[in-house]
């Protein structure tokens, strides 16, 4: 009888271990399902349509690139990878002119992947003229205040954000003064930390 009791206890322990393993597996599968559901929900939460770049000279290419990176923020790994995955994903966000260029771009790469970094470099080269920076500096130079200070500052900063090279010192000083005019509530401080007047 004692032997039967030991056998029963041993069998019972084995059943408990098997049950514990089964519960661990079930927990693991449930976690996987929850992660998959969360991933699907994140993808479905995207609001609005993705930004489109048609290839028109009037479009702001850098703003489109920034908007695309923000819209697809969940695809940061694909953007940084050495594959064509992200560029293939955004192909549908290109208008007819840009898609025609894209076909040439893909052909020129041969077997190399169309990474996001290469794509950005090449699309800028194609849709910005070789004199883009010069034209941009000219627009900054010719920009005149018409309307509100806020509208002027917005236009100024929009042009400034597209510059790739360092600004001339005069433009840096102008930008600094322009911000102080637009945002007078922020106090200015001297080099030693004392508050100074916002007046020029």
Can you give the residue ranges of every domain in the chain? 6-46, 61-127, 131-182
Q: Each residue of 51-71: pLDDT tens digit?
A: 999 988 888 888 899 899 999
Q: Each residue of 65-101: pLDDT tens digit?
A: 989 999 999 888 988 999 999 999 999 999 999 999 9
CB distance 162 to 127 below 8 Å: no
Full-model pTM: 0.55
Residue 187 has pLDDT above 60, yes or no: no
What does R_g of the chain's alpha carbons equal in angstroms?
30
Q: Residue 161 — pLDDT band, cuts 50, 70, 90?
A: confident
Angstrom distance (rounded) from CA 36 to CA 21: 23
What b/e string do you get for 172-193 counting C-beta neighbours within 10 Å, with b at 16 or more?
A: eeebeebeeebeeeeeeeeeee
């Amino acid at each position: 009888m004692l032997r039967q009791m030991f056998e029963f206890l041993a069998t019972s322990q084995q059943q408990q271990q098997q049950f514990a393993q089964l519960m661990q597996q079930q927990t693991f599968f449930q976690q996987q399902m929850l992660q998959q559901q969360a991933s699907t929900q994140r993808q479905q939460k995207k609001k609005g349509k993705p930004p489109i770049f048609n290839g028109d000279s009037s479009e702001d290419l850098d703003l489109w690139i920034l908007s695309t990176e923000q819209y697809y923020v969940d695809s940061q790994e694909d953007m940084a990878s050495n594959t064509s995955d992200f560029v293939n994903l955004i192909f549908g966000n290109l208008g007819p002119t840009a898609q025609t260029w894209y076909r040439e771009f893909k052909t020129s790469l041969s077997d190399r992947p169309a990474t996001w970094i290469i794509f950005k470099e090449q699309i800028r080269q194609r849709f910005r003229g070789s004199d883009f920076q010069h034209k941009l500096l000219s627009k900054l130079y010719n920009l005149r205040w018409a309307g509100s200070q806020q509208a002027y500052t917005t236009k100024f900063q929009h042009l400034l954000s597209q510059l790739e090279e360092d600004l001339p010192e005069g433009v840096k000083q102008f930008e600094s003064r322009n911000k102080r005019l637009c945002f007078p509530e922020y106090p200015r401080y001297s080099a030693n930390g004392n508050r100074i007047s916002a007046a020029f």
